[in-house]
Amino acid sequence: MKKLFFSLAIVILGTLGLNWPSFLNFFQCKPDLLLIFTVGLVFYTDFKTAFLFGILAGLVKDVFLPWHFAINTVCFGTWSYCVYRLSGQITIEEDYVRWGIILVAALLNNFIIGLQSVTTGNIMPPGIFLRNLIIVSVYTTLLSPLVFKLTKKIAALS
Amino acid sequence: MLKLPRKTVINFVLPALAVLLVFNFLSCFKNPVQKTFKPHLSLIGLVKRELLGIVFYHRNMVLADKLQTDVNLLRWRLFDFRELSQENARLTNLLNFKQKSSLRLVAAKVIGRSIDSWSSSVIIDKGRYNGIKTGMAVVSPQGLVGSIVESSENTAKVLLINDPNQGVSGIVQRTRQEGLVSGTLGTSLIMRYLLDDAAIMAGDIIVTSELSQIYPKGLLVGRVVKIGREFSGLNRYALVKPVVDLANIEEVLIIIP
């Protein structure tokens, strides 16, 4: 039952990402809701579930991107594993720690995707690169409490 | 002399006299009694008026609520009509373009946009079933939109011209100067590989060239807004403002070769 709801949440967040209202765009940037969900899963469920659904969320994101390499599937799985390992080293119960983790994950994720885009020969002005790196990450962090709440509620289901 | 019978006097005359006496007597009491009752009556009148006012207010309140609901409903309808009217105008525009154009075109609706900020693409509601294949050019009545990069049974993915992965062979309409137009994820496109002495200036119109294998020749791409020199110093580049509002595009036309 819980797994069904997690799958449903991925579909809903993916649909929301695809149809994100333009008036909610901040400097033409939209938040990465699926990344928040992936990291949130590590906080509220066991590693196995978080890892599997993290990969699924990455896969959903990659399906709707015009690239052939499933970079988000790889990255989301990696972030799940890294956050899980990190949770063994530091306490992740505080909200600000969780926000910090999501900010770092978003920055790294955007940096890798941006770097991949630039190294494949695409021209991207530094301003656009920084905009997508910083504003998207901060926007993602700002929206994380809402997605965390959803993840927590689903995780609490029996 | 008239002599009334005793019975008549008792039955009629005496009661009549009593009534007259009471009425005369009453007039003496009228003023003081009325004066005594006046404040109460006024108060009762006031209370009655206020009560009626409350009833009236309540009735008006209910009416106002109903009217407000009607206004909201009509506002929504007006909004719907405006949306329909705008859609109608856009579709008419598309249809006119389709009818005038010599190209074989398929109209499609945008049903989704890029899921992240690192790419610029849209998903359309037509796919292989409608003859849409990878590599087909996508246009709008204003100009070039992009190309199909993926096609499934009922949907297709369009890579917009402002995506960095997109490259269009373009020429300056005025001087026939060639260059490669690619996206930057920003509001402008970049036209690269322009010769140092290229005859190009701000305001020039860029159209697709015949060298492009995907796009038909002469499709409007955009207008030059700025010219600069590349870092290497060997070539110049031009920033091109696309003619199509790519961020808000809702309907597109796919060119079937």
Å between A128 CA and nearest CA of chain B: 7
What does the mean pLDDT of chain A come to?
A: 89
Distance, CA of A138 to CA of A99 (rounded, Å): 10
Mean pLDDT of B27-48: 75
Q: Is A110 exposed, middle or buried (0-12, 13-18, 19+ CB in 10 A)?
A: buried
Is A18's CB within 8 Å of B112's CB?
yes
Selected residue with higher pLDDT from B84 and B97? B84
| Band of pLDDT at residue A139, cut at 50, 70 and 90 | very high
A136 touches chain B (CB under 8 A): yes
Distance, CA of A134 to CA of A110 (rounded, Å): 8
Q: Going along chain B, which residue ranges are E strands?
A: 104-113, 121-124, 137-139, 144-151, 156-160, 167-172, 178-183, 189-194, 205-208, 220-229, 236-242, 251-256
Q: Could you read off the pLDDT of B58-71 as tens digits, one per residue?
A: 888 999 999 999 99
Q: Which of B109, B113, B114, B118 to mutate to test the interface with A (most CBs of A within 10 A)?
A: B118
Distance, CA of B186 to CA of B176 (rounded, Å): 26
The residue with tokens 């009629």 is: B12
Is A110's CB within 8 Å of B185's CB?
no
Is B117's CB within 8 Å of A30's CB?
yes
Is A32's CB within 8 Å of B113's CB?
no
The answer to whether A147 touches A34, Cβ cutoff 8 Å, is no
- Chain B environment of A61 (Cβ under 8 Å): 115-116
Taking a contact as any Cβ pair under 8 Å apart, which residues of chain A between 50 and 79 contact chain B? 61, 64-67
The answer to whether A151 touches A9, Cβ cutoff 8 Å, is yes
Residues 6+ apart with CB under 8 A from A128: B184, B185, B186
Each residue of A1-39: b (16+ CB within 10 Å) or e? Answer: eeeeebeebbeebbebbbebeeeebeebbbbbbbbbbbb
Residue type (1 letter), A21: P
Is B116's CB within 8 Å of A20's CB?
no
CATH number at residue A42: 1.10.1760
Mapping DSSP onto H, E and C, the string for A78-116 reads HHHHHHHHHHHHCCCCCHHHHHHHHHHHHHHHHHHHHHH
A119 touches chain B (CB under 8 A): no
Q: How long a stretch of residues is chain A?
A: 158
Size of interface A-B (CB pairs under 8 A): 73
Selected residue with higher pLDDT from B7 and B132? B132
Whether A143 shows a pLDDT value over 80: the answer reads yes
A110 touches chain B (CB under 8 A): yes
Residue type (1 letter), A97: V
Mean pLDDT of B138-150: 90
Q: Give the domain extent around A68.
A: 2-17+28-156
Assembly ipTM: 0.83
The answer to whether B237 touches B191, Cβ cutoff 8 Å, is yes
Is B184's CB within 8 Å of A125's CB?
yes
Whether A61 maps to a domain, the answer reads yes
The answer to whether B141 touches B93, Cβ cutoff 8 Å, is yes
Residue type (1 letter), A107: L
One DSSP character per residue, B93-125 reads HHHHHHHH-SSEEEEEEEEEE-SSSS--EEEES
Å between B210 CA and nearest CA of chain A: 23
Is A113's CB within 8 Å of B118's CB?
yes
The pLDDT, as a whole number, for residue A70 is 83
| Band of pLDDT at residue B239, cut at 50, 70 and 90 | very high
Q: Could you read off the pLDDT of A54-113 as tens digits, one per residue?
A: 999 999 888 888 877 788 899 999 999 999 999 888 888 888 999 999 999 999 999 999
What does the mean pLDDT of chain B come to?
A: 85
| Band of pLDDT at residue A147, cut at 50, 70 and 90 | very high
Return the percentage of chain A with pLDDT > 70, whole number.
99
Residue B157 φ then ψ, to 5°: -105, 130
A117 HSE (CA, 13 A, CB side): 28
The pLDDT, as a whole number, for residue B1 is 54
Residue B168 φ then ψ, to 5°: -125, 130
Q: Could you read off the pLDDT of B172-207 as tens digits, one per residue?
A: 988 888 899 988 888 889 998 888 887 888 889 999
Single out the residue of A118, A138, A150 nearest to residue A41, CA to CA: A150
The pLDDT, as a whole number, for residue B81 is 86
Helix (H, G, I), strand (E, B) or coil at B211: coil
Q: Could you read off the pLDDT of A4-26 as tens digits, one per residue?
A: 999 999 999 999 888 888 888 88
Å between A67 CA and nearest CA of chain B: 9
Total domain count for chain A?
Answer: 1
Is A22's CB within 8 Å of B248's CB?
yes
Q: Which of B109, B111, B115 to mutate to test the interface with A (most CBs of A within 10 A)?
A: B115
Taking a contact as any Cβ pair under 8 Å apart, which residues of chain A between 12 and 41 contact chain B? 14, 17-20, 22, 28-30, 32, 34
Distance, CA of B36 to CA of B30 (rounded, Å): 10
Distance, CA of B45 to CA of B163 (rounded, Å): 79
Whether A43 maps to a domain, the answer reads yes
Smallest CA–CA distance from A61 into chain B, residue: B115
Mean pLDDT of B21-39: 71
- Chain A environment of B190 (Cβ under 8 Å): 123
Fold (topology level) of B105-257: Thrombin, subunit H (2.40.10)
Return the percentage of chain B with pLDDT > 70, whole number.
95
The pLDDT, as a whole number, for residue A23 is 84
Whether A53 maps to a domain, the answer reads yes
Whether A22 maps to a domain, the answer reads no
Whether A23 maps to a domain, the answer reads no
Q: Could you read off the pLDDT of A98-123 as tens digits, one per residue?
A: 999 999 999 999 999 999 888 887 77
Quote the tokens at residue B224: 């030059």
Single out the residue of B210, B206, B209, B211 nearest to residue B188, CA to CA: B206
